[in-house]
Chains A and B, each alone.
Chain A
């Protein structure tokens, strides 16, 4: 295995593309090093991207945010404002692993590692986040939802580097939330996860909502019926039950050592409705902005 440090995005892309064998991006390393140690991956080359500014900075412009793909969860949490605007995104990212893991793990890595249970992904999709990707053929944009294609599989071509994630400017009275079910209080992979992103009008009626579920399908899935069940309501109990039912209906989970399909199907509905309530309370408390 070779280890190289890239100083620019272009040099990272060219190192990755130029490797005949298996090449991997090394950001936080909290997935890659575990897989390396377990013999699940045998890289010929790892490219360390943490010296590249664009991958390590958070910037704001016109109400939108650009977050470098290798920004650590702890850094995201320490940022002055992004947690107020996108609390669900930040809480999803901050649920990955321990405080120590938070010191390194990134949303970019979490997204590209493409575990079906990845904690940052549902809220990223619900937020409508997009990615900037640079590769041998230049720069392109993609929806976050298009990156994971299956368990451990992503849509990036060889030589492509995920550079940053973009969050659009928020309408007033918007907020989001991410909840997951784990057997302990920390340190577990989500049995199920649910993110809800919504916007209210000035009298508290929901005008837009996106519900995305994690760990109940090979990738995170958006559930249009669940989002629709919130629109036009004040997220009352009936609406929440409808969200729960729609989420459970859309789930197509497996049974494994972490949970049965029956459990996942049922509890993802519970998480979806609870996340919707939290997102609603957050959005309602904001007032005009």
Chain B
């Protein structure tokens, strides 16, 4: 077995790592790069807890090989806040109490931000369908939808 040398950009930082051919990007982020914010819930693309953006596209990192990151740009939950300043999605999730155990929360935040980057004024239905790939077992999704709506309003510059 020989490892593959990968050169990539993670959260804006030039990054290099070695990985086995069959290792997923999720494995690499967590075990090689110690970016444990992205979570493994299923390793089969069904729960969204491992959500990241790859070249600006929302994907499950458990469905990407580490080797495929070469030359690409990866953004994980760790890049969403600007230092101490939380992104409106993060702040509204806290305001609304839209997390209980918090395990699905990083994936939800990455996915919700990806939605609002594209669609600044989504309906509740659009939010729900966009987030269908992010399983939450604790909240019943209700407060998450409300939080995303208020974050969208914040980003549009409106009072929420």
Contact = CB atoms under 8 A, between A and B. Distances in A.
Interface string A10-49: 0000000000000000101110011011100000001010
Nearest to B24: A33
Nearest to B118: A78
B51 A33 contact: no
A3 B63 contact: no
Contacts of B62: 33, 37
A185 interface: yes
Contacts of A185: 129, 132
Given A3-B65, A104-B64, A34 B59 contact: no
Interface residues of B, number: 31
Contacts of A48: 67-68
B45 A34 contact: yes
A235 to B, nearest CB: 28
A143 interface: no
A262 interface: no
**Interface size classification for chain A:** 20 to 34
A103 B59 contact: yes
B79 interface: no
B9 to A, nearest CB: 17
Contact of A99 (B44, B54, B58, B70): B58
Given A98-B133, A187-B132, 19 more contacts: A3-B21, A3-B65, A26-B68, A29-B68, A30-B45, A33-B24, A37-B43, A48-B68, A74-B57, A97-B133, A98-B134, A99-B111, A99-B115, A100-B59, A100-B60, A100-B111, A103-B57, A103-B59, A185-B132
Interface of A: 1-3, 5, 26, 28-30, 33-34, 36-38, 46, 48, 50, 72, 74, 97-101, 103-104, 185-187
